Amino acid sequence: MTRTYFPLSNGIVVQENDKKVVATISPIGKKTLNSFKEPKKMIFLDFPFLRGWQYFFCGIYTFFMAFFQNTPKKQKKDKFAFKLTVISTLCVIFGIVVSAVLLGFVPGKVAYLLVDYRGNAFLRNFVVMAVKILIFCLLIASLRFFASFSELLRFNRASDMMFFSGDKIKKQKCPARPLNFLNFLVFVFICDFAVVSLVGASFGFWLNLIFHILAFLLVICIAYEILWILERVKILRNLAWLTAFLVYGKPTTTHLETAFMAFTEMNLLAVQKDREFMDNQKHSFTVVYSEVREKLAAAGINDKSDADWLVATVLGKNRAEIKLVSSVTDKQYEEILKATARRVKGESLDNIFGYTEFYGLRFDVNKKVLTPRMETEILVENVIKTAKKLKNPTVLDIGTGSGAIAVAVAKNCQAHVTALDISKSALAVAQSNAEKHDVKIEFLHSNLFENLKRKRKFDIIVSNPPYIKSSDIKNLDKNVKECDPILALDGGEDGLDFYRIIIPNSVKHLTSGGTLWLEIGKGQGAAVRKLMRQSGFEEIKTIKDYNKIERIITGKIR
């Protein structure tokens, strides 16, 4: 294990090898992200039992150092802040003393009240154990009434949710992580209470102290191995809830976004060896991107591509390149916030910028053409891969619109591309985009196949036809209805009108072994596959988009 993470009362720390990321949020909601090299690496051994000690002691060190490192320098010099720190420290010491009395004195008294001196010693020790564990759990539960501890538990749960969900923010249920550090600590103490209480050793003060220390060290090793097994056996993982419920709080979107920042930045640091480290003087790209996502989500815009396009366009990069950006300038940050504000008010991205980015290319768009979507890049990518395997391939793009598919294909492979559309206005936009990117494309004004010569054939036919049900048009996002032509959206009563024409007619215009590539709507996979089988297509397969929805379908004609 080389990566671990710890919650703070105002954020999250993620550490991997010699790199550390601290993502926090201030009381007024401002997010900050610091990243730096940690001189003391956390290298967890692969040897059973020994790794438990390292996780515990290195974890304790990192956990408390994270609080210290997260304290702003100004606050450290502030006399009031210093006094507050002293008071907090005294309160912690007082709490430890009270806990020691409750856990050391009360359980024994209760046990001897229930089981006298002449009673069963094991039963008495069992009562001591039960009372200790009960008091310990009540003490932890009582800490939830303190705002800072409650926030700590929320960030703790957010960290685990991010750990299981990868790079996506998911609010749905996810399992408890057995080796969550706070859960590990709680489990260690509960196991220690059980071992020490049941043994009931009485050797005198110093021998008792030595016994307790040795027992605690042994418990650390065994507890780690138990949780290690639970984490790797899915059927047993839910057993972690027996103690994890004590260290979890319900995270809000803010907690999840903060965890997202920390994990995302660490992922980027792990793969980009020369990525610069962040401090409070820079606008971290990860923080800016998270801020954009949060503002859009608050406005009901949950499509990840919106944040990608918006940020990438302002920075003058494609979506793949923005992951390489470490920080943004003050001017870029202001422009991103202005564009985000306009998007939140309902303006489309193409209206905001007058163009859109698609497959690494910039396309002029207007209300006469459909703005290309991120999912369509998957369609283009597969068409290009297929075309590159052929010698002098011919490609037909049906319903070209802005020309995004046709231009992207022509730009990225040696293919003769023909594009057709029923709208002369759309063809004018497509022609302009082709000239802008210096690609030769044959444009035809045609209602689907009407003006195409009967004997003309192509190696590849591709189309992103209208596939939205007529009855669903009125429920579309205001931005879509106002900025995209209805002609490019309405797919008829069931959304399949164009597929019923394109699929059988494609058979007549495909060469032997030619392939048809189509973008489809959510839930249309089965119906379109059936239409393709009925028309004689073979090797039919579907490809899912970034949201795991069947989005692309292809088939080959013999």
Name the band, by pLDDT with cuts 50, 70 and 90, for residue 267: confident
Report the C-alpha gap between 422 and 398 in whole angstroms.
9
Poorest-pLDDT segment among 88-102, 278-292, 424-438, 543-557? 88-102
CB 477 within 8 A of CB 452: no
Q: What is the pLDDT of residue 9?
A: 83
The more confidently predicted of residues 475 and 379 is 379
Angle at 65 between CA 140 and CA 54, to 5 degrees: 80
Name the band, by pLDDT with cuts 50, 70 and 90, for residue 101: low
Query: For 109-134, what is the mean pLDDT?
Result: 75
Q: What is the DSSP string of 272-292?
A: -TTPPPP-TTSEEHHHHHHHH
Query: For 377-397, what is the mean pLDDT?
Result: 95
The more confidently predicted of residues 151 and 480 is 151
DSSP 503: H
Q: What is the DSSP string of 328-360?
A: E-HHHHHHHHHHHHHHHTT--HHHHHSEEEETT
| Integer Rg of the chain from CA | 31
Q: What is the pLDDT of residue 72?
A: 46
The more confidently predicted of residues 60 and 342 is 342
CB 153 within 8 A of CB 180: no
Cβ count near 99 (within 10 Å): 13
The tokens describing 16, both together, are 């991997």
How far are the Cα atoms of 94, 181, 333 from residue 146, in angstroms, in the given order?
16, 20, 36
Point out which residues pair with 21 in neighbouring strands.
Answer: 14, 35
Query: For 352-363, what is the mean pLDDT?
Result: 82
Q: What is the pLDDT of residue 77?
A: 47
Whether the pLDDT of residue 73 is over 50: the answer is no
Query: For 391-405, what is the mean pLDDT?
Result: 93
Whether the pLDDT of residue 396 is over 80: the answer is yes
Whether the pLDDT of residue 330 is over 60: the answer is yes
CB 404 within 8 A of CB 365: no
> Rounded to 5 degrees, what are φ and ψ at 468?
-85, 135
CB 431 within 8 A of CB 369: no
SS3 percent helix, strand, coil of the chain, rounded to 5, is: 55, 15, 30
